């Protein structure tokens, strides 16, 4: 199973075997070892492998109009699409 340490220990020792376990990031151990670590140290949490909702968030990208204004700076109005122009900078035809 996977576990993580929220207290930033870096490395801990398995209280039973004395084995050093790197817990700086998520680590893979057997359930028995994890239970021992959880008993021995604060801040240990099980990481559920199917819990992906946190990383699944769709990033909403912000597009800017970007047309150069008379003072030379790009227009920073938000638009829906990367190539879209804001209401003020619609291409003339
Ligand atoms: Zn614009």
Q: Output the CA 84–ligand 1 centroid distance in Å.
A: 9
Dist CA 38 CA 31 (whole Å): 10
pLDDT tens digit sequence for 66-80: 999 999 999 999 999
Q: Output the CA 60–ligand 1 centroid distance in Å.
A: 20
| Residues 85, 88, 89, 93, CA torsion sign | positive
Q: Output the CA 43–ligand 1 centroid distance in Å.
A: 50
Q: Output the CA 61–ligand 1 centroid distance in Å.
A: 17
Dist CA 65 CA 68 (whole Å): 9
pLDDT tens digit sequence for 4-54: 999 988 999 999 999 999 999 999 999 999 999 999 999 999 998 665 555
Q: What does the domain layout of the chain look like in residue ranges?
A: 2-47, 59-93
Dist CA 66 CA 85 (whole Å): 8
At 57 the pLDDT is 55
Rounded to two decimals, what is the model's pTM? Answer: 0.50
């Amino acid at each position: 199973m996977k576990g993580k340490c929220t207290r930033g220990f870096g490395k801990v020792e398995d209280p039973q075997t004395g084995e050093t376990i790197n817990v700086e990031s998520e680590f893979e151990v057997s359930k028995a070892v994890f239970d021992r670590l959880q008993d021995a140290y604060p801040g240990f949490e099980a990481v559920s492998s199917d819990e992906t909702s946190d990383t699944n968030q769709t990033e909403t990208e912000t597009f800017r109009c970007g047309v150069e204004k008379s003072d030379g700076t790009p227009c920073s109005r938000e638009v829906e699409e990367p190539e879209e122009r804001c209401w003020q900078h619609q291409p003339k035809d």
